[in-house]
């Protein structure tokens, strides 16, 4: 959906952020659901699932979009203009709302691929110095503080984020930048498939 259409649908053109009530559910429905789905459960792999995401991560990313700290193409195309309209109270309200939404398990995939991804998630890739994903993202990939929930996230979205960490356009997580350069395409695909299945 073009950015101008998104802005018009969300009402951003029609009313300034200072007039918005701090009502996360209403704001999420007006502002976010066209791309991120009802209650943040995106059906399109183009857009990440926000339901049950950690509030600290959501706050950090929304502020990152607002301040142009995230510069990947999707951020510039979809989120820069939207986030520029959000004050800190609105950011917190949206983060609190999405963090309280139900986590919905993802879809299973190829058993061998999932087993390989599970191994990387739990143990990393020791011979390449890649730590276990679970060490930052939680034993169930549920996220912890500013480390995002990855469980149930779209495989395609996760692979795209690994790419933007690798090419440097998303530079707000140095640990992930280093990991993205170390994972092989096959390893990245395996761990993304496993995470989608959680």
Q: Which of 68, 99, 130 is the last residue of a domain?
A: 99
Residue 22 lies in domain: 3-99
Mean pLDDT, rounded, for 173-177: 93
The helix/strand/coil state of 170 is strand
Tokens representing residue 170 in the block: 């998303």
The answer as to whether 185 is a domain residue is yes
Same domain for 75 and 120? no
Give the span between the Cα atoms of 35 and 42, in whole angstroms: 7
Q: pLDDT tens across 147-161, in order?
A: 999 999 999 999 999
Give the span between the Cα atoms of 161 and 180, in whole angstroms: 9
Work out the angle between the directed axes of helices 155-167 and 174-182 (0-180°, nearest 10). Answer: 100
Q: Which of 99, 124, 155 is the last residue of a domain?
A: 99
Q: pLDDT tens across 8-40, in order?
A: 444 444 444 444 445 899 999 999 999 999 999
Give the span between the Cα atoms of 76 and 120, in whole angstroms: 31
The answer as to whether 143 is a domain residue is yes
Same domain for 70 and 9? yes
114, 108 Cβ separation under 8 angstroms: yes
Of 54, 72, 64, which is closest to residue 148 (Cα–Cα)?
54
Q: In Å, how far are 93, 102, 114, 155 from 56, measured between CA atoms?
A: 12, 17, 28, 22
Indicate if the pLDDT at residue 119 is higher than 60. yes
User: What's the mean pLDDT when you consider all of the chain?
Assistant: 90
The answer as to whether 181 is a domain residue is yes
The answer as to whether 79 is a domain residue is yes
- Our CA angle for 54, 93, 39, nearest 5°, is 65
The answer as to whether 65 is a domain residue is yes
The answer as to whether 106 is a domain residue is no
Give the span between the Cα atoms of 38 and 20, in whole angstroms: 20
Q: 104: which DSSP letter? A: -
Mean pLDDT, rounded, for 57-70: 96
Q: 86: which DSSP letter? A: -
Mean pLDDT, rounded, for 56-68: 97
Same domain for 10 and 53? yes
Structural domain total, the chain? 2
CATH number at residue 142: 1.10.760.10
Of 73, 71, 72, 65, which is closest to residue 31 (Cα–Cα)?
65
Q: pLDDT tens across 138-149, in order?
A: 999 999 999 999
Same domain for 92 and 7? yes
Same domain for 93 and 132? no
Q: What is the pLDDT of residue 7?
A: 46
Same domain for 54 and 123? no
């Amino acid at each position: 959906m073009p950015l101008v259409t998104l802005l018009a649908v969300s009402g951003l053109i029609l009313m300034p952020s200072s007039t918005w009530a701090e009502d996360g559910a209403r704001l999420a429905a007006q502002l976010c659901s066209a791309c991120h789905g009802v209650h943040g459960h995106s059906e399109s792999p183009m857009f990440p699932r926000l339901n049950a995401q950690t509030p600290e991560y959501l706050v950090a990313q929304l502020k990152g979009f607002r301040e142009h700290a995230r510069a990947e193409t999707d951020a510039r195309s979809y989120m820069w203009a939207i986030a520029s309209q959000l004050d800190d109270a609105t950011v917190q309200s949206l983060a609190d709302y999405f963090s309280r939404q139900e986590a919905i398990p993802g879809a299973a995939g190829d058993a061998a691929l999932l087993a390989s991804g599970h191994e990387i998630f739990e143990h990393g890739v020791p011979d390449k110095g890649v730590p276990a994903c679970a060490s930052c993202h939680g034993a169930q990939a549920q996220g912890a503080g500013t480390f995002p929930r990855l469980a149930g996230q779209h495989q395609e979205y996760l692979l795209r984020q690994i790419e933007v960490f690798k090419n440097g356009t998303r530079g707000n997580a140095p640990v992930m930048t280093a990991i993205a350069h170390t994972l092989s395409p096959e390893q990245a695909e395996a761990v993304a498939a496993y995470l989608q299945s959680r």
